[in-house]
A and B are shown apart, each in its own frame.
Chain A
C-alpha cells in the first residue's frame, strides 16, 4: 500500500507475448492519456520481458510519457510471481496513483497477486473509468479526483461504481475492446526508464513445460462491422443468411449465446458477457432477443440495427434502428440494398 500521491503518474501494465503487444495495452495507453491529462500528471507504462525495447515506441505513439522497461532473460515467458515482483517493486519506487491492467487471462492472474502484496484495492473487469470528487459522508470529507471504476456486477444486472479512497494505488483491470484504440501519433516521443529488478529463486516456482497458441480465427474485436445472429435464425443451415449479409458489408459474423448453444455456429463467434465484448461502428443483430448478457457485450456499438419479429424484444431497447419483421425476408432485402447502395 502506498499513501495517496496526487502527483503520481497514471500507469498501464503493458501485456506482451513473444514480443507482440496485446491490443488492450494500446487501448489503455489512450485511456490513461486522457485520465492523466485531467489530473495534470504524466503517464507511465510498465513493460517487462526479454528483447521488448522496440515496443516502447508504439507505447509512446499511443500516449505513454515514460516506459519503465525491465528486460531480463528470465522474463521471456509470463509467470505470475516474477512479473508481480516487477510491478510491485516499481509501484513502491515510483508511487503511481493509478495502475491499470487488461482484464485478460494474464491481467486477471497478475493484478490480484500485485494487489494482495500491495494491500491495495482492485476492481475487476471495468467497462468504464472516470475521475471525480467523491464525498465520504461518514468521514465528513471529500476525496478529490478519485478514479471511478465502473463495472457490471451480479451477472450483468447492475452497474457498480467502485472507488479506492485511501489505500493506493487505485488499481483496476479493464475489459478488452471497451476502450477505443486511438490512432497512433507517430511523432510522439517519450522517455525509456530502464529498471533492474532483483529476483529470488522462489519467484520461479512455476516452470513452463509446453505451450500451444491458437491463432484467433475470428476477429470480432477488430471488426468495424458485425452481423450477428441469434436463436431466431432457427438453424445452422439458415445461418447462411447471416454470413451473406456479413459478406455483403465486409463485416465479421457474431452470434448470441442462444445461437452458439443451438449449434448454429462456433463459440468463438459469441458476443456478450461470456463471449467477446465488441464496439464496432455498426452492429446488426438478427433474430437476437437481447438478453442482458448479450447487450452487455455490444451495447457500446456506435450504431445498432435490430431485426426481430417480436416487437417487444429487449434488443430494440438498445437499437438505433429497428425492423420488426421476418429476418428471412428482411436480410435478403438488406443484402440487395447494400449491393446497390449509392456511392457517397
Chain B
C-alpha cells in the first residue's frame, strides 16, 4: 500500500560551529558569518520519509519556509530522492514565531492536500524549541508522535513507532494521518545520488531566476524582466527543474496569523552571553595552595 509523505525542512545557521565573527559588537547575531546548513534533525526526517516510499511506494514532498536561499536545502532533498519540492517564501512571513510558523506550514500542508505522514525534525538548531511540529499537528487536527527513533512497523494505514523519551523508550501505535517528529539518531541520511545531483543541480525557484535576471540587466523594465524570466523558466519547467514557489496568498493564509502580527511572543531583549561572577581567586598549583582552597570551601560550608 503506497503512502504519501510531506517533510517540513529548514535551512539553519550552523550554530554548532560558532566563531568569534558570529557575534556583532552590539550582541546580535551576524548570520552572514555563519554557514547555512540543512537542519540535522530534518535530514533524518527526510530519510525516514524516503524509506517509507522505497518500501511501500507513494511520494515524498518537501516544504521549506524561508528566504529564497532556502532553495539550497530543497535541492539537497531532490538529490536524495524527494519527488516534489516547494519553497514557501513571503516577506510578510518574516518575524514569525513558532505559532505563526506552524500556522503557515499547516496552511501549506493543507494546500498540498493528500498525505499520510507529515515528518518534521524534532527541533531546529537555531532555536531548539521543538514546538513547530506539535503545533502543526494541532493546526491540522491530527495526532502527533514526537521523538521517533524507529519506524517499527507500517501496515494497513497503521504505524508502530518507537519513541525515545529520554529515560527510556516506548512503542506506540497510531492510525494515519499522523505528524511525526524525528530524532537525529533515527536513521543515517543517505548521501546525494550522483545521477540526481547531475539532474537537479540546475533546479531553481522563481525567486532565484528573478534575482539572476535582475543582476544581469539592472536597467531593464519590470515587463522586460518578467519576459526574460519566463523565457528561461519555460525549458526548465519542461525538464522538471522549476521547483514550486508559494507565497501566503497561494496557501490562503489569514495574514493576521502570520509574521509579527500573528506572533504572540515578542523578543524583549537580546544579550550576548556575558560571563558574570563575583570574585575570582587564583590558587597556586602547590600543596599549600590546594590546602588553602579546601579550607576556604570548608569554612563557607561548600564542603562538609
Contact = CB atoms under 8 A, between A and B. Distances in A.
B112 interface: no
B271 interface: yes
Contacts of A292: 18, 273
B59 interface: no
Given A105-B165, A209-B172, A210-B171, A303 B270 contact: no
A43 B74 CA distance: 47
Given A112-B130, A209-B173, A333-B287, A158 B293 contact: no
A129 interface: no
B138 A116 contact: yes
A207 B267 contact: no
Contact of A80 (B28, B134, B170): B134
Given A119-B99, A323-B290, A161 B269 contact: yes
Given A105-B165, A155-B16, A341 B270 contact: no
B145 A344 contact: no
B149 to A, nearest CB: 12
B13 to A, nearest CB: 8
Interface string B132-162: 1111111100011111000000000000100
Contacts of A225: 303
Nearest to B138: A116
Contact of B128 (A124, A161, A206, A295): A124
Interface stretch (A5-13, A29-37, A180-188, A312-320): A312-320
B168 A122 contact: no
B287 to A, nearest CB: 5
A344 to B, nearest CB: 5
A113 B135 contact: yes
Nearest to A155: B15
Contacts of A326: 285
A104 interface: yes
A159 B295 contact: no
A27 interface: no
B295 A342 contact: yes
B129 interface: yes
Given A113-B138, A124-B131, A156-B273, A163 B293 contact: no
A148 B98 contact: no
Interface stretch (B187-195, B205-213, B275-283): B275-283
B268 interface: yes
B297 A303 contact: yes
Dominant secondary structure of chain A at its interface with chain B:
mixed
A321 interface: yes
B168 A214 contact: yes
A122 B126 contact: no
Contacts of B29: 154, 157-158
B220 interface: no
Contact of A163 (B15, B171, B266): B266
Interface magnitude class on chain B? 35 or more
Contacts of A302: 302
Contacts of B167: 105, 213-214, 216
Among B128, B136, B263, chain A packs the most CB atoms within 10 A around the CB of B128
A206 B173 contact: yes
Given A116-B134, A207-B174, A316 B264 contact: no
B227 interface: no
B27 interface: yes
Contacts of B18: 154-155, 157, 292
Contacts of B126: 153-155
Interface string A155-184: 111111111111100000000000000000
A270 B57 CA distance: 41
A325 B285 contact: yes
Interface residues of A, number: 87
Contacts of B133: 112
A88 to B, nearest CB: 10
A237 interface: no
Nearest to A84: B138
B303 A81 contact: no
Contact of A344 (B132, B169, B299): B299
A317 B280 CA distance: 9
Contacts of B132: 112
Contact of B273 (A104, A159, A316): A159
B143 A341 contact: no
Nearest to A156: B273
Contacts of A209: 160, 170-173
Contacts of A193: none
Contacts of A323: 282-285, 289-290, 293
A329 to B, nearest CB: 7
Contact of B135 (A116, A152, A317, A344): A116
Nearest to A302: B302
B294 A122 contact: no
Given A160-B271, A206-B174, 17 more contacts: A1-B264, A122-B265, A155-B15, A157-B29, A157-B272, A159-B273, A161-B269, A161-B270, A206-B145, A225-B303, A295-B275, A323-B293, A324-B282, A336-B287, A337-B293, A338-B303, A341-B303
Interface of B: 13, 15-16, 18, 22-23, 27-29, 97-99, 102, 125-139, 143-147, 160, 165-175, 178, 263-273, 275, 277-287, 289-291, 293-304
5 contacts: A106-B165, A164-B266, A209-B160, A209-B171, A303-B300
Interface of A: 1, 80-81, 84, 104-106, 108-109, 111-113, 115-117, 119-125, 134, 148-149, 152-167, 205-214, 216, 225, 249-250, 281-282, 292, 295-296, 299, 302-305, 314, 316-326, 329-330, 333-334, 336-338, 341-342, 344
Closest 7 CB pairs of A and B: A155-B15, A325-B285, A121-B264, A121-B265, A167-B264, A116-B138, A213-B168
